[in-house]
Amino acid sequence: MAAASAVHARRRRRLVLPLLLLLLPVVRARVTALIVFGDSTVDAGNNNAVPTAVRSNFPPYGRDFPGGRATGRFSNGRVATDFYSEALGLGRGFVPAYLDPDYGIQDFAIGVCFASAGSGLDVATSRVFQVIPLWKQVEMFREYKARLAAHLGAAEAHAVVAGAVCAVSIGTNDFIENYFALTTTRFLEFTVPEYTEYLVGLARAFLAELYGLGARRIGFTGLAAMGCLPVERARARALARGGCDEAYNAAARGFNAALAAMVADLGAELPGADIRVAEVYDFFEGVVREPARHGFVRADVGCCGTGTYEMGYPCGAWAAAPGGTCPDADRYVFWDAVHPTERASRLVAEHLVNSTFGRFDN
């Protein structure tokens, strides 16, 4: 009876997701699945299965997710890729984590997330917090392909992967948790331009590997204005700089320019490939510098705790405190000191679906 109850509970948890309160335009181009790689901007809960401190599977995270569940997403609700799934017409408003035991290959056939919070293009970045490195995410993808072939048959599994949209969101941690944080020796080995070139070379190899595994439609999200994250603004204030850290923002722009050049070059070399950069910097910078124009009240601090340093467990420490989180997260651009609220993620998703992820084959 207990086992049966557990199974029914898992099924109910799959069915509790209601229609989105704010609907994104549905893309008409045929998309078979959404396959996600990256870091905490898109991790749907893979780190729950990893012995790391970079987790968010506890309150107050997930308080606005259907069912009020803390799934492991670094948000009060959904993240951008959850909205992509809805907009791409996949019939589901979320993307499950590959390591979530509540889901199986039948669920992953239309969407799966391999992302791991704290990860980066540089394997040294993933070692800082012992999270899933990008190479391991690719190995998980290989395993997924084999399971999909066993589930659907080889031909149909190949068609699913070829017709899928792959969403990649990674690179910020390489700068803010590695290079600028001085947590590895990279700052001694490279100048910022040299490290950017190194990272873009890793991105090129990763994209080529995905292509070799059958992926054809890939959107790589550029870096946002990381110097305007609340945690970086707080650090800048502590150093009497004030405002956003423009050195960090310059690094993001430099990476984005190099990424765009590489993607254009690589795409021309790979027959049948449609690889695009999802340009988010200007849009999101506009949101954080002029939040009122987008219906927000605060962009300088997060909703959780003081909003200046809390992320993960430090945010969780405020869960039971009176007034530990803001009453209305929709008024804030950021949920914690690093990650956007569900509403901000929805705005980003709408922008990127219209500019990139909904434009494949169009």
What are the residue ranges of helices labelled H in the chain?
2-15, 80-87, 105-108, 123-128, 134-152, 154-163, 172-173, 186-189, 192-212, 230-238, 246-269, 281-289, 313-316, 342-352
Nearest CA-CA partner of 78 in 347, 259, 283, 291: 347
Among the options 39, 82, 100, 336, which is catalytic? 336
Which of the following is catalytic: 40, 56, 116, 345? 40
Q: Which residues does 203 contact at the CB level (< 8 Å), separation at least 6?
A: 121, 171, 220, 259, 262
CA angle 123, 108, 222 (to 5 degrees): 45
Question: Rounded to an integer, what is the distance from CA 240 to the centroid of its chain?
Answer: 31
Q: What CA–CA distance (Å, rounded) separates 100 from 103? A: 6
Residue type, 347: L
Residue 40 annotated among the catalytic residues of the structure: yes
339 among known catalytic residues: yes
Active-site residue (options: 39, 75, 119, 339):
339
336 is catalytic: yes
Q: Is 12 exposed, middle or buried (0-12, 13-18, 19+ CB in 10 A)?
A: exposed
Amino acid identity for residue 207 in this structure: L
Nearest to 96 by CA among 151, 48, 149, 146: 48
- Cβ-in-10-Å burial (0-12, 13-18, 19+) of 185 comes to exposed
Q: Using CA atoms, how far apart are residues 313 and 39, in angstroms rounded to an integer?
A: 17
Three-state DSSP class for 240?
coil
Amino acid, res. 161: V
The shares of helix, strand and coil residues in the chain, as percent rounded to the nearest 5, are 50, 10, 45
- The set of catalytic residues is 40, 336, 339
